[in-house]
Amino acid sequence: MSDPIKPVIVSGSAPSDRSVNAAAAGDRARPDDDLLRGLNPPQREAVTYRGPALLIVAGAGSGKTSVLTRRIASLLRSREAWPSQILAITFTNKAAGEMRERVGQLVGDVVRGMWISTFHSACVRILRREADQFGFTKNFTIYDSGDSRALVKRLVKEHEADAYGMTPASVQGRISKLKNELADAESFARQANMSDPAERLFAAIFADYQRALQRANAFDFDDLIAQTVYLFRAFPAVADTYRRRFRHILVDEYQDTNHAQYALIHELTRAPGSDAAPTEHGGLMIFDAPSDEPGALLTVVGDSDQSIYAFRGADIRNISEFERDFPGAKVVLLEQNYRSTQNILSAANAVISHNFDRKDKKLWTDVGAGDAIIGFTGYSQHDEAQFVADEIEALHRAGAPYSEMAVFYRTNSQSRALEEIFIRSAVPYKIMGGTKFYERAEIKDAMAYLIAVANPADELSVRRILNKPRRGIGDVTETAIARYAAEEGITFRDALANASALGVGPKIQQAIAQLDAVLAEASEIMLPSSGEIAPPTSVAEGLTLLLNKSGYADALRRSKDPQDEARVENLDELVAVTREFARNNPEGTLLDFLTEVALVSDADDLDDASGSVSLMTMHTAKGLEYDAVFVTGVEEDLIPHRISAGEPGGPQEERRLFYVAITRARKRLHLSLAMTRAQFGEVSVAMPSRFLQEIPHELIDWRQSPGDVNSRGGMQSRALNARRPGGGFGGGGSRYGDDLVPLPRRERPAGDVTKFANRIPAKIRDNGDLELAAGDRIRHDDFGEGRVDMVTGEGAKRVAHVRFDSAGAKKLLIKVAPITKL
DNA sequence: GATGTAGAGCTTTTT
DNA sequence: GCTCTACATC
């Protein structure tokens, strides 16, 4: 990993000014007692300390959100700050929403005046306001990673860069890294080794990419931050307005900030007017921007043990060198954990202590040891999933709500096996951030229609909808339009208005004219040319009009492809989202809607009230907590992930990731793995993760240890060919079965295990309207015969509660379970 | 220009 | 095992 350039800390921050102000502020600070109630001494200090810079080192579960929200409330109550002077930055929209709500509970309605948002949302707000200053307009589009990948892909192809082994993904990743370090195409070209043709090619692609964004009036995710920094540096007067405005800046998850974000914070905390000082005129000060105003007061919260985003440019040094960056900064350490039991914390401490090069920090609690950590080794990923499902059901029967349980995995692909078993076992679940709603093709199409209206310069979006639905506009016509636009010096979008000049057939001319008319009509609804303000419902109206009059909706409805039915439903859902948006944002414009969609990930809108078990990656889990946590796939090559092995600091980051995962658990922690795992269509043997060995064994109660599964000499390969039907495999079948009998505390009967490995059909079956009633006997492919105790639920969600003769009680979704009535 | 089929490549994590 | 792409065919 390349070393990001460490920024020069601006001396203009006038530390003396700051401390004067801090002392004054300290005298005034007398927060109400209720804000400090229930806090331990370090937490109190973190709320009440006043000074230019404060670092709160907050271990997992140490109540940092509580501290942060009370600190904000205390600033307001003591009249040290107006709401509008506060900028609080979090990493995810969900965290921002949560903080807004909790601050609101403390201070009431004035919370509306504060900026509590993610880095990206804050930057969008600034950029929309200032866009005209530097060659953009305020209706710019935000490209998500899919959009920018599409663009990169086209450029890689145009430049034939694949000949040098460049893939769209690698180019995209490299551009993103450079932007996170505030390098642009020019600065890259200056320092690159241009005698290397591959480097020259990359520089050209980078430059083209940036030009394409500019032409499309668009920013990618990384630009949102980097361009804001450039804006501040290029226009000190603009920067000063924000420096004057924000007097208190608070940053959560500081360990995950990258260089660009770090620079942004530094720009914002400089004293207003300080840019003017070091001009070539030396001492000539600009007096309408006096620098006696100090820079904003900075509070950062973080935990270097939870830094898990180095792979995308997060620089751990931002937090580890905070004291050097801000001389005189105060550091407060929060080590008491209010979330987990001591057993869980001991395991977490043991694991993380294997990372050298960290400040020693030990979480502790006074709630007691709690339950042992439960370990389980499955024969296959499905076996493991079945354990998780069974355990969840057992906990649920014992009174634990589903919403208080979560299952974590390292890679998204691991969710499939869990899902399959959960569906069959009728465990209600919800996947966080899996296949995202807004990444579905039909949703992207619909969004492209909206973007084509909002930002006609965005060629990518216009091209996307050109032939969706099919209008007979292919490559040839598309190129003709592009050529015409270039000749006339107009945009691709405007070229559509002149279909007859393109030299294409009459039928196609008509199709183009029709598309142009629909876009124009929708534009009139959502962005009236008369200048009046469109009502918030106009987005829903405009979207409906676009989908109907373009023929898009009709094409799907007419289609015979069964998937298209679901697509129509998804589009209805999108229209519902626009209505919901109108309700929540009475002043919301089309632009506001597009911004929200671009920046809000699916993980953000999770509501825990839904009564489902949450499934997510370990990364998504950060910042969340659950009573019961299942960490699955605790295997070598998965956690730590194989790819991380080659990267400097990789294995350590993986350890922190594992640490984050286990510290999410309040009461119960389950660690599970599988001996074999199918990936790529191939089954391979998995090894227990090294992190398991780092946990003292007395903390883990193994229901089935790796040794139990592995010690029957050479048996693992048997599990691989477990597909054989009922013992017809020489002596192996019965021997295998015999061996299984003495397994401790396993409900599953002998022989059953052999059937489990990878026997799950890829397609979900459909039993149609199979009628079951209490008393019926059924046969299940895996669990054998059993009797139905009762049936609950309705329609497709009817659930049979079955008592199996040998496998015990199970709940099965009747529609999809592999069962037959006897 | 649309549609169907074979083959390659893929899987780290996300605002 | 699945999805996207390229290519062939209509």
Tens of pLDDT, residue by residue over A628-641, are: 999 999 998 888 88
In this prediction, residue A193 has a pLDDT band, given cuts at 50, 70 and 90, of confident
Distance A732 CA to B6 C1' (A): 39
Distance A432 CA to B6 C1' (A): 35
> Could you check whether A41-134+226-277+291-334 and A342-434+607-710 share the same CATH topology?
yes
Q: Higher model confidence: residue A471 or residue A758?
A: A471
pLDDT in tens, A641-688: 888 877 777 888 899 999 999 999 999 999 999 888 887 767 788 888
**Nearest amino-acid residue to B12, taking CA and C1':** A411
Which H helix or E strand runs over A752? helix A752-756
For A141-216, CATH number out of 1.10.10.160, 3.30.450.20, 3.20.20.10, 2.60.40.10 equals: 1.10.10.160
Tell me how many degrees the CA angle A144-A256-A328 measures, rounded to the nearest 5: 140
Mean pLDDT of A356-377: 85
Could you state, in order of their start, the residue ranges of all structural domains in chain A? 41-134+226-277+291-334, 141-216, 342-434+607-710, 437-601, 756-821
- Catalytic residue numbers of A read 64-65, 252-253, 306, 664
In this prediction, residue A816 has a pLDDT band, given cuts at 50, 70 and 90, of low
Nearest nucleotide (C1') to alpha carbon of A508: B1
List strand B contacts in A 335-394 (CB < 7 A).
none
**Nearest Cα to A666, choosing from A400, A430, A299?**
A400
Mean pLDDT of A270-279: 63
Binding residues of A for ATP: 58-65
What the block records as the tokens of A379 is 């024969």
Strand C close to A153 by CB, under 7 A: yes
Considering the entire predicted model, what is its pTM? 0.77
Mean pLDDT of A99-116: 86
Nearest nucleotide (C1') to alpha carbon of A411: B12
pLDDT of res. A10: 33
**How many whole angstroms from its chain centre is CA A529?**
38
Kindly list the distances between the CA atom of residue A656 and the CA atoms of A338, A358, A454, A620, in Å, as whole numbers in the listed order: 20, 11, 42, 14
Contacts of A633 (CB under 8 A, 6+ apart): A381, A384, A409, A410, A411, A414, A639, A672, A673, A674, A677
Query: Is residue A723 over pLDDT 50?
Result: no
In this prediction, residue A20 has a pLDDT band, given cuts at 50, 70 and 90, of very low
Nearest nucleotide (C1') to alpha carbon of A681: C1
Q: Higher model confidence: residue A815 or residue A308?
A: A308
Kindly report the CATH class assigned to A342-434+607-710. alpha beta
Distance A156 CA to C7 C1' (A): 21
pLDDT of res. A751: 29
**Nearest amino-acid residue to B13, taking CA and C1':** A619
In this prediction, residue A276 has a pLDDT band, given cuts at 50, 70 and 90, of low
pLDDT in tens, A123-181: 999 999 998 888 888 889 888 888 888 888 888 877 777 777 778 888 888 888 889 88
Domain covering A41-134+226-277+291-334, topology: Rossmann fold (3.40.50)
Residue whose pair of structure tokens reads 């592009």 in the numeric block: A482
List strand C contacts in A 678-697 (CB < 7 A).
678, 680-681
Distance A32 CA to C3 C1' (A): 59
DSSP letter (8 states) at residue A687: -
> In this prediction, what percent of chain A has a pLDDT beyond 70?
83
Query: Which amino acid is it at A455?
Result: N
Distance A167 CA to C4 C1' (A): 14
Across-strand partners of A333? A57
> In this prediction, what percent of chain A has a pLDDT beyond 90?
17
**Nearest Cα to A333, choosing from A322, A347, A346?**
A322
Query: Is residue A289 over pLDDT 60?
Result: no
Query: Is residue A3 over pLDDT 70?
Result: no
Distance A439 CA to C3 C1' (A): 15
**Nearest Cα to A147, choosing from A478, A581, A459?**
A459
Instruction: Name the average pLDDT for chain A.
Output: 78
Task: Round to whole Å and give the CA distance between A819 and A636.
Answer: 36
Binding residues of A: 58-65
List strand B contacts in A 133-152 (CB < 7 A).
144-145
- Strand B contact nucleotides, protein CB < 7 Å: 1-3, 10-15
List strand C contacts in A 757-816 (CB < 7 A).
762
- Strand C contact nucleotides, protein CB < 7 Å: 1-2, 5
Domain covering A437-601, topology: PCRA; domain 4 (1.10.486)
Mean pLDDT of A546-570: 80
Contacts of A698 (CB under 8 A, 6+ apart): none
* String of DSSP letters for A761-796: -SSPP--TT----TT-EEEETTTEEEEEEEEES-GG
Nearest nucleotide (C1') to alpha carbon of A416: C1
φ, ψ (nearest 5 deg) of residue A646: -85, -10
List strand B contacts in A 641-700 (CB < 7 A).
641-644, 647, 650, 679-681
List strand B contacts in A 419-458 (CB < 7 A).
433
Distance A80 CA to B12 C1' (A): 45
3-state secondary structure of A258: strand
